[in-house]
Chains A and B, each alone.
Chain A
Amino acid sequence: MDRFLRQTAASLLATHKGGLQELTVVLPNRRAGVFFVKELSSLVNEPTWMPRVITIEDLFYDLGSQVPADKLTLIFELHQVYVQLIKDPEPLDRFYFWGELMLKDFNDIDQFRVDASKLYSRLAEIKAFEKDWSFLTPEQVTLIQTFWSSFSQRETEHQERFLRFWDKLSLVYERFKARLVSIGMAYSGMIYRKVVDDLDGLKWDGGKIAFVGFNAFTVCEEALVKFFIREHHALLFWDIDSYYVEDVQQEAGFFIRDYMKDKVLGPTFQHPIPERIGTKRTKIKTYTTPLRINQANIVGKILEGNKETEALEDTVVILPNENLLFPLLGHLPDQVSAVNVTMGYPIKNTPVYTFLEAVLELQRFRKAEDKNVVYYHKAVIDVLGSVYMQANQKRHCEEALSYITSTNVIYVSETYLTKFGGLFALVFENITGVAGLLERMGKIMNALYEQASENILESTYLGQCYKQLNRFRELLLPQQGKEALPLDFVIRLFKQIYRELKLPFEGEPLLGLQIMGVLESRNLDFRRVIICDMNEGSFPPSNSLNSLVPYNLRKAFGLPVQEQNDAIYAYTFYRLLHQSEEVHLIYTTAGEQGRVGEKSRYIIQVKEEMGISEEEKAEEVVFIPVDLGETKAIRIAKDGAILQVLDQYLGDGSKQSDRALSPSAINTYLDCRLRFYYKYIAKVEEEKTVSEDVDPAVFGNLAHAALEFLYVGFMERKKRRVVHAEDFSGLKDYVYPAIEMAIRQYYFMEEDKELKLGGHLAIARDVLQKYLLQILEIDRQTAPFEIVSLEKSKRYNANFEIFPSGNAKSVLLGGIIDRVDLHRGSIRLIDYKSGGDKKVFPGVRQLFDRDIKNRNKAAMQTLFYGLLYQYSHPENELPLKPAIFNLKELFNPNFSPYLEKKESRKDGVLVEDYSDYSLEVEEVLREVLEELFDTKVPFDQTDDLERCKWCAYKELCGR
């Protein structure tokens, strides 16, 4: 292999025997420069001066004695000009991306030395062409005419909008440049153009100059190169192959063919043009795989074949898409002992940065609430969840998080958050304006840095972030003086700039396996080339020529269009084939976000045109078998530890059990044995979140509490337990306060604080009011009644005998009954429900039958209350009447709260007294409990997947 840079180096050494100190070597990029010096060094046999090695950019900036200002500054400046010239200009934040486009166009205009005033003029009529336009060829004129003839006689609305803007662009261009000149700034095209415009006066004292490895010049570059050829006998070294130069169809030779015909450039070509592609047998292999990430596994496999003796630096892996870098690095085999990566480490993926971004986002979700600043809870939670907050204020984070979830605050106040001090103070303290924001970000970075001190990687990220922040601050603050920048915009800008920030890797660039992007491979030659992402859209990248100048006009005025872009990428691809012996092309059939991947045109071209063998044409399809592992059904056998937990529900006469089985525990057990196990035995916690929604459970809780407040309050005020119909008009006034109290209690809100409710809760509150009023109305109609007990004030328990495997045991059952009252000679056991529970049930046995789909759990529960009540009050002789106040039926004029037993095709019977059913209830319940305590029956999963849908443990079960 005779690497291009080595060849070039040898040739320069040969012609500059006296040393190279007088020589300037211009290369397309820095990387090529490094390799070039390496090649040179390996060729000398005595101490020798290095030449000056620079890029063409450096050369222009040197000659122009200026460096371009950064993009942000330029766009700000552009906007200043823009607002003066355009009617109803957009504010900076909406302008930004348009500005970016304009700037790019201006840069092209200068790089390609286009007359902006001509480009940006209306050329609807041919007449306009007569004077001053002789520089255009007839084809160019036709292109321009085609464009302008597409305008209708009477302009359409869109055309009018287009023209309104178009007409001003020439002026914007001129004024913008004038403004930049006056403040001593420039964008790169501007410097280029100036250098070329002043070529006549150019003094060059840099000695001999050589241009190495170029393929495509802009107009300015071409002019400069030609100048050096003419005036200073510049040397040119072309890195080309006749395969694509000679075949006019090959876009890779697009530029070269022109240059060869050029009077000045033509003679710099050495003939014959090397003929390597297509003659030297390069081994080509194509792979395809369904997932992008698996390309890394393929590369890993290819590299495993690396022989120990082989120099690693002879292999290059080209990654058109840098996402693949880390998966690839992870899969490198051991023989790859050194790696050199030209791509940087993306800061945006580091947790440090994501934390910074979360802090910024926080500012987007803040609002002022009476002098107080509050933050939207989701943004706060995001910040609190960060490892950096957790790392040194873990306890505070926990406290704050539990405060937020338990009180369900939608907006969390600054006062609350900052009181924890430390990072909390830095992150949550109110910020004024952009300046404040940026200063604060600096402080936070500083604080993180102190935390990170021993973690070198982290402090390096932070250093980089801080560096960028400095610049950002420098740029924005003066701007801020001119025009108040919306915080949102600054945050968006910040994110955008940081997202592109990369941290370079350390490493000896010349050692080890080379991993690089497409464009960095220019001028370098490798024995083995592996290219990933050989997909349309990656290599070549998708059409990204974005411009405000329509296609035909760009073409007419010689601005680059897609063809040129295609030619450049095609060249980089074929160039890699110049000297390689082994080429591996990998593409994927899946694109990003579930799209379909299309193989690169280069693969098709190579197969069609390079005359490779059928065997080489065959693609290796690399798939991974889809083999779902078996998820075993979960059946937890009752071992000793479990029995111990279960035993806590038992009393044996001597010792009283300390825990009671509630009806909901039994319902859980009936729904799914495993769910019972999770909840009551393994005690798997459920997740708590802040919910802006009021789900049915919360609603039910609020309703319960409010009703309790209401009647407890009544009894306290009136000092009596009997409620009469006349009492209700008075009671109504207490409904609203009772609800507020319930909400405060539920969400732990302090009493003196004003109650501010989020949208959904505000609606829920009003609905709750209706609900309570309706219950009162129903109670009024049934009054008088005497309240026996209310909710928490009394627990009802029962010691219930069972005989699992023949041994007598006593289980403690217990529960809270929402309301017990005495009404027309019956004890009513009332349960409030907010759902759609039914009161009809087919029979007692069916209430405990787990196989029944719509088992009536509410009926089971209220009958269970009957049992509890009777056990707690064995003396009771009154009928016990279970009752359900369910929201969905409350407004039905024929509302009745009582249970009804109804077998199919028979008339229903109202449940007037629990004791009519007690024997059956006890019998069936006993069966259930005996099964629960039966050591042989494991806790297993329900077959009914419907039940898993809303189960809190479905993640565990994987259902």
Chain B
Amino acid sequence: MQPTLTPFIIYKSSAGSGKTYTLTMEYLKLALRQPGAFRQILAVTFTNKATTEMKERILKELTRLTREVNPQEKMDAEILSFLQVDAVQLKALAKSTLTSLLHDYGSFSISTIDSFFQRVIRAFAREIDLQARFDVEMDQEGVLSRLVDRLLVRVMEDEHLHRWLVSYAIDRIREGKTWDIKSAIGNLGRELFQESFKTHKLEIREFLKERENLDGLKQYLQRQKSNIAQQAGEIKTKSNAIRERHGLDWTDFKGGTRTFSKYFDLLGDPREPLPKLTAAQLTPKDEVVDWVTKSSKKKEQVEEAFREGLGELWGQLLSLYPPYKTIEAIRKNFYVYGVFRQLLEALEELKEDENIMLISDANDFLKSITANNDAPFIYEKVGNRFKHFLIDEFQDTSGFQWASFRPLLVNALAQGNVNLLVGDVKQSIYRWRGGELRLLLETVESELGHFGIDVKPLDTNFRSLPKVVNFNNTLFSLLPKQLSAVLQDSHGVSNTDILESAYKEVTQKIYAKKEALDFHGKVKLEFLDAGDEEQSMSELILDRIPEMVIQLQEMGYRPRDIAFLVRKNQEGQQVADTLLSYGLSNPNSPHSFDVLSEEALLIRKAEKVKCLVAAMKYLKDGNPSHQQSLWLHYAQVMGKEITHRVFDKENYPDFISQRIAEFENKKLHWLKLPLVEMVNELADWFSFHDQGKEKAYLAAFKEAVMDFSSKFRADLTGFLKWWEEKQDKLTVRIPEGHDAIRILTIHKSKGLQFKVVLMPFLDWKIVDHSKGTVVWTPFTLEEEQLSSVVPINMGPDLMDSLFEPVYQEELIMAYLDTINMAYVAFTRAEEVFWGLSPWKDTSKHSMGNLGINILKVLETESLNGEEMSLSEFLDEEKKVFEYGEWPAIKNREMGVLLPPRLRWSQQSWQKKLKVKTSSLSFDDQVEGRVEKLWFGQLVHSILERARNEHEVKVKLEELYFEGVFQEPEKNRIESQISKLFSLPVFANWFSTEAKILTEQGIMLPDGSQKRPDRVVIYRDHAEVVDFKTGLEHRSHQGQVKDYMQLVKTLLKLPTEGFICYLDTITIKEVT
């Protein structure tokens, strides 16, 4: 008996906690119950790469279990006890499961969420009104830009749209922005693909359908604004009246030249009725001390003026801000919002025209499918029935994805089947892509709790050394508290529980095997102080970097053990440049400064590729600048010096002048080659295949050309356009074991681990409003009876507005994002974590970035002794935090990488192969000129294959269906044939009386074959027939005589021979 168990398991994992191991184990538990059980399990991973890894891992463990079972191993022990079998039985089970899996591999379902969704959608294509065939479009930016173009084309027809956009443009210049609305539309237009918009799509569409609604809202905004302007104007008048009455200037009030009170004068401007005030200014000034400086000469007058109502007026002024901020927040996106209806229409059109489904629509479709149908029907349509779902990286699941999945999951749970989610809220860093960590944190448990949920923490860290684990345990217990305090203090946000609840279970256990090692790991954080020096902070940081790398290598770390983690690619590039130039200026250094940044992996970075692209551009349009570019890059590849002569047509250096004439000569030749061959021949002509570096880049470029050619119209213009758009995404891949320092963004580092992690830029801003986060927010105007959902840009301006709660929520999540990013980064380290951050005085400085908050945590002494006290390790003098010792120096060997065994040299295929030139030459076909030769050949090919008259007709049809000729020619051929059949001799050859051999030649002992067109065998004699086109020729006779001779010997019958000339309809007997 197998034990019953809670059907629903949620694994809450942490960094390095053996998530894949656990998933594999759980998968095997379910799969090993019966040989075919795996068919009903679907494991869902987040990326394609994870899919492959997961499959490999399962296969590996399964294979292992067929050979050895080790009850000491956790996995084996759990499986044994779960299945209630012994080791021998388990081996047998593993064997049979492995076999059935390998031979029904298609049912081995490990897939990304997207590809599973797409499968379902394809199965329902007809029911949800999709085409039977459609392409899934991944490139949303491309769609967006085509979409905006379409919108602008509509302007030519749609007068209202035209006027709307013009007023928008003018509105923008009035506000001192560029008039160009295109990018603004594009920016907000991106929302079309977001779930946050789609959730409200129906309401919004409904609202925008009526032009009055939009006009109503517009008028409301204008009215409100002019109301406010008017009131502000009155305050201005009144305040000035009071001031003047007392003979004062505003500078007489508190603050002097910088007095807040001078803002009274800025009120009531219709463009900006209320000035921007700082937070300090935006407070009530109800006390006389707010207005007057003690030492003021006009103290009395000022006090008088205050009493006469200035304080009150200030109060009135403040009360104008909340409504003002509210309407300004709406106004900001109002014009683009106004064209969302047209954008949606244009989007539908575009999808229809291009026959595409946007990848972002997959979730919508799936949601409608699973909401609409019971699970069994879905499975029937898809052709797979799943009982068990294992979902990985659940913290990154979006609301729509969850909504789509839930019905299937509920169905499986209701039948008592085991289902499993794995995730870590702390590593949720994909909120910007729709990831909704609350699902894992609370939603799932509250929604599906009634099935009974077994929440299991994975709380041992198998990745990092003890000190690293300890440090992270402490830091990430304290950091959420610290940041939550900052949120409360400086933003007045109260409900910050989520920060702490997400990190409730952050403390991990140390893996015993790591504990047993000599080296226990190290964490070092340096807080750099720029002091009064000229040097900027980033220079200070960058200067430090080579030293760090050197120090690590001295301790025996290989370059590939070291990774720099950064938030932005640009920072990564700085690090790369620093190391590169350090390496160049220290050529004799025993250390390696080889780095691989994400940027350096771009295919377009290679000079060979640049040269080829320039050459292709030059071939395309002959523009001399491309010619200059191509030779410049050629010079770079060849390592030549770049001088003026490289650009000087009259006076090219030898390495160019020797080649340029040939290049110019070959232009036409290259242009007439298919793209793939063009690139090949060019690269070959430049000798790029055989010599120099960058072969990986060259190969990747060629592969890109090949991909393009197979997917699109393979022309040069199109390719270059495509390249323009794609070149910043196409990269080469780093071979396993490549010995270079890695530089990567935190996002890219997810799921990876490194011996040493360096983070030189730890001090990022926690909330970055430059990203322009948009939140779709319900908004109701009771008086106007208008209500809709409007796009609001998140920013501090929303404080005090109607939208403040939304903003605060966004702040909380932004804070959580930052902790999560830090968590992911810090936990990548196996042995050493080393970070740099600017030193700041935590008592004075604002707490808006991560570095200072970490410093603050480090400074705090442990209060209750629960946590380790980090401050012990902080040297306030040196401004360095150091926990743990460096490892003993040792030499770390690296496996020798053999040079690849590849053939590089290249040659044109045409040397070895020719395309079959059709006997049906073109001349013969055009304009109905069916020339004799061709015509005859057609008749020939029909006759030679047909045994009887009926078959002649069939063959004729066949050729016709192939498109060899058209109706009129068909008729002509038919009449020609029937003329032939009117000759009795001819007709006899097709009679059913005799035995007829067509296409059946005679084999000769030398391996050759003779193939007379026709051998007609009668009882007493045989006839050999050969059909000929064109003119009679003496050689024909000889050929047929040969045939006759052979046939005669073979059949031992008297044999006659005939040549039938098809064009002239004459038959010659051969004697």
Contact in complex: B48, A629 (CB < 8 Å): no
Contact in complex: A455, B735 (CB < 8 Å): no
Contact in complex: A629, B103 (CB < 8 Å): no
Measured in the bound complex, the distance between the Cα atoms of B632 and A635 in whole Å is: 12
- Asked whether A622 and B900 contact (CB < 8 A) given A52-B1000, A146-B380, the answer is yes
Contact in complex: B155, A338 (CB < 8 Å): no
Among residues of A, the one whose C-beta sits closest to the C-beta of B962 is A471
Minimum Cβ distance to chain A for residue B689 (Å)? 9
Q: Which residues of A contact B901 (CB under 8 A)?
A: 298, 301, 620, 622
Minimum Cβ distance to chain A for residue B360 (Å)? 17
Minimum Cβ distance to chain A for residue B688 (Å)? 11
* CB < 8 Å neighbour of A623 from B156, B632, B735: B735
User: A432 at the A/B interface (Cβ < 8 Å)?
Assistant: no
Measured in the bound complex, the distance between the Cα atoms of B380 and A147 in whole Å is: 6
Contact in complex: B906, A330 (CB < 8 Å): yes
Contact in complex: B918, A460 (CB < 8 Å): yes
Measured in the bound complex, the distance between the Cα atoms of B637 and A632 in whole Å is: 10
* CB < 8 Å neighbour of B909 from A326, A456, A598, A888: A326
Measured in the bound complex, the distance between the Cα atoms of B779 and A714 in whole Å is: 52
User: B297 at the A/B interface (Cβ < 8 Å)?
Assistant: no
Contact in complex: B963, A474 (CB < 8 Å): yes
- Asked whether A470 and B925 contact (CB < 8 A) given A67-B958, A604-B59, the answer is yes
Contact in complex: A349, B103 (CB < 8 Å): no
Contact in complex: A44, B1003 (CB < 8 Å): yes
Q: Which residues of B contact A684 (CB under 8 A)?
A: 624-625, 628, 647
Minimum Cβ distance to chain A for residue B444 (Å)? 26
Contact in complex: B1009, A41 (CB < 8 Å): yes
Q: Can you name 20 A-B residue pairings with CB atoms under 8 Å? A: A42-B1007, A67-B961, A150-B374, A300-B902, A330-B680, A330-B909, A345-B915, A390-B671, A460-B918, A505-B916, A536-B105, A605-B102, A623-B736, A624-B900, A628-B694, A639-B643, A682-B628, A687-B623, A687-B625, A763-B169
Among residues of B, the one whose C-beta sits closest to the C-beta of A326 is B676
Q: Which of B381, B651, B967 has the most CB of A within 10 A?
A: B381
Measured in the bound complex, the distance between the Cα atoms of B127 and A114 in whole Å is: 25
Measured in the bound complex, the distance between the Cα atoms of B714 and A326 in whole Å is: 15
Q: Which of B162-211 touch A at CB < 8 Å?
A: 162, 165-166, 169-170, 173-174, 176-182
User: B293 at the A/B interface (Cβ < 8 Å)?
Assistant: no
Measured in the bound complex, the distance between the Cα atoms of B918 and A504 in whole Å is: 9
* CB < 8 Å neighbour of A641 from B629, B648, B1004: B648
Measured in the bound complex, the distance between the Cα atoms of B174 and A153 in whole Å is: 63
Q: Which residues of A contact B738 (CB under 8 A)?
A: 623, 625-626
- Asked whether A641 and B651 contact (CB < 8 A) given A158-B128, A627-B694, A893-B271, the answer is yes
The range of chain B's interface size is 35 or more
Q: Which of B89-133 touch A at CB < 8 Å?
A: 98-100, 102-106, 124, 126-128, 131-133
User: A873 at the A/B interface (Cβ < 8 Å)?
Assistant: no
User: B636 at the A/B interface (Cβ < 8 Å)?
Assistant: yes
Contact in complex: A41, B1004 (CB < 8 Å): yes
As a 0/1 sequence over residues 572 to 601 of chain A, the CB contacts with chain B under 8 angstroms (1 = contact) are 000000000000000001111111111001
Contact in complex: B377, A49 (CB < 8 Å): no
Contact in complex: A625, B1005 (CB < 8 Å): no
Contact in complex: A506, B917 (CB < 8 Å): yes
User: B966 at the A/B interface (Cβ < 8 Å)?
Assistant: yes
Measured in the bound complex, the distance between the Cα atoms of B383 and A48 in whole Å is: 54
Measured in the bound complex, the distance between the Cα atoms of B333 and A624 in whole Å is: 50
User: A762 at the A/B interface (Cβ < 8 Å)?
Assistant: yes
Contact in complex: B692, A767 (CB < 8 Å): no
List 4 extra interface pairs beyond A251-B104, A550-B383, A692-B152, CB under 8 A.
A332-B912, A386-B715, A636-B644, A890-B173
Minimum Cβ distance to chain A for residue B264 (Å)? 17
User: B733 at the A/B interface (Cβ < 8 Å)?
Assistant: yes
Q: Which residues of B contact A626 (CB under 8 A)?
A: 596, 601, 696-697, 732-735, 738, 740
9 closest residue pairs by CB, A with B:
A471-B963, A300-B903, A551-B383, A623-B735, A759-B155, A97-B132, A759-B152, A329-B909, A297-B902
User: B907 at the A/B interface (Cβ < 8 Å)?
Assistant: yes
Contact in complex: A506, B156 (CB < 8 Å): no
Q: Which of A61, A165, A250, A387 has the most CB of B within 10 A?
A: A387
- How many CB-defined contacts (below 8 Å) exist between A and B? 487
Measured in the bound complex, the distance between the Cα atoms of B178 and A694 in whole Å is: 12
Minimum Cβ distance to chain A for residue B177 (Å)? 7
- State which of A273-281, A351-359, A738-746 sits at the interface with chain B: A351-359
Among residues of B, the one whose C-beta sits closest to the C-beta of A298 is B902
* CB < 8 Å neighbour of A758 from B131, B156, B644: B156
Contact in complex: B177, A888 (CB < 8 Å): yes
Contact in complex: A45, B98 (CB < 8 Å): no
As a 0/1 sequence over residues 888 to 909 of chain B, the CB contacts with chain A under 8 angstroms (1 = contact) are 0000000001011111111111
Q: Which residues of B contact A66 (CB under 8 A)?
A: 954
Measured in the bound complex, the distance between the Cα atoms of B637 and A631 in whole Å is: 8
Q: Which residues of B contact A696 (CB under 8 A)?
A: 178, 180
* CB < 8 Å neighbour of A158 from B369, B636, B717, B1046: B369
Q: Which of B880-938 touch A at CB < 8 Å?
A: 897, 899-910, 912-918, 920-923, 925-927
Q: Which residues of A contact B176 (CB under 8 A)?
A: 836, 888-889, 891-892
Measured in the bound complex, the distance between the Cα atoms of B98 and A608 in whole Å is: 9
Q: Count residues of A near B (Cβ-Cβ below 8 Å).
A: 194
Measured in the bound complex, the distance between the Cα atoms of B99 and A38 in whole Å is: 40
As a 0/1 sequence over residues 238 to 256 of chain A, the CB contacts with chain B under 8 angstroms (1 = contact) are 0000000000011100000
- Asked whether A48 and B676 contact (CB < 8 A) given A291-B700, A463-B918, A888-B176, the answer is no
Measured in the bound complex, the distance between the Cα atoms of B911 and A338 in whole Å is: 10
User: A142 at the A/B interface (Cβ < 8 Å)?
Assistant: no
Minimum Cβ distance to chain B for residue A430 (Å)? 21
Q: Which of A155-191 touch B at CB < 8 Å?
A: 156-159, 161-162, 165
User: A118 at the A/B interface (Cβ < 8 Å)?
Assistant: no
User: A642 at the A/B interface (Cβ < 8 Å)?
Assistant: yes
Measured in the bound complex, the distance between the Cα atoms of B797 and A46 in whole Å is: 100
Minimum Cβ distance to chain B for residue A858 (Å)? 16
Among residues of B, the one whose C-beta sits closest to the C-beta of A512 is B912
Minimum Cβ distance to chain A for residue B168 (Å)? 9
Contact in complex: A327, B918 (CB < 8 Å): no
Q: Which of B162, B711, B916 has the most CB of A within 10 A?
A: B916
- Asked whether A624 and B127 contact (CB < 8 A) given A49-B1050, A304-B903, A471-B963, the answer is no
Contact in complex: B715, A354 (CB < 8 Å): yes
Q: Which of A680-698 touch B at CB < 8 Å?
A: 681-682, 684-687, 692-694, 696
Q: Which residues of A contact B958 (CB under 8 A)?
A: 67
Q: Which residues of B contact A336 (CB under 8 A)?
A: 912
- Asked whether A503 and B706 contact (CB < 8 A) given A67-B954, A624-B696, the answer is no
Measured in the bound complex, the distance between the Cα atoms of B898 and A623 in whole Å is: 9
User: A415 at the A/B interface (Cβ < 8 Å)?
Assistant: no
Minimum Cβ distance to chain B for residue A230 (Å)? 24
Measured in the bound complex, the distance between the Cα atoms of B124 and A548 in whole Å is: 10
Q: Which residues of B contact A764 (CB under 8 A)?
A: 179
User: B147 at the A/B interface (Cβ < 8 Å)?
Assistant: no
- Asked whether A159 and B694 contact (CB < 8 A) given A330-B680, A609-B102, the answer is no
Contact in complex: A70, B961 (CB < 8 Å): yes
Contact in complex: A507, B913 (CB < 8 Å): yes
* CB < 8 Å neighbour of B914 from A46, A70, A507, A609: A507
User: B600 at the A/B interface (Cβ < 8 Å)?
Assistant: yes
Q: Which residues of A contact B710 (CB under 8 A)?
A: 323
User: A94 at the A/B interface (Cβ < 8 Å)?
Assistant: yes
Contact in complex: A595, B692 (CB < 8 Å): no
Measured in the bound complex, the distance between the Cα atoms of B967 and A114 in whole Å is: 36
Measured in the bound complex, the distance between the Cα atoms of B379 and A466 in whole Å is: 47
Contact in complex: A631, B636 (CB < 8 Å): yes
Q: Which residues of A contact B169 (CB under 8 A)?
A: 763, 766-767
Measured in the bound complex, the distance between the Cα atoms of B960 and A67 in whole Å is: 11
Measured in the bound complex, the distance between the Cα atoms of B963 and A940 in whole Å is: 63
User: A754 at the A/B interface (Cβ < 8 Å)?
Assistant: no
Among residues of A, the one whose C-beta sits closest to the C-beta of B671 is A387
Measured in the bound complex, the distance between the Cα atoms of B643 and A242 in whole Å is: 71
* CB < 8 Å neighbour of B735 from A290, A298, A682: A290
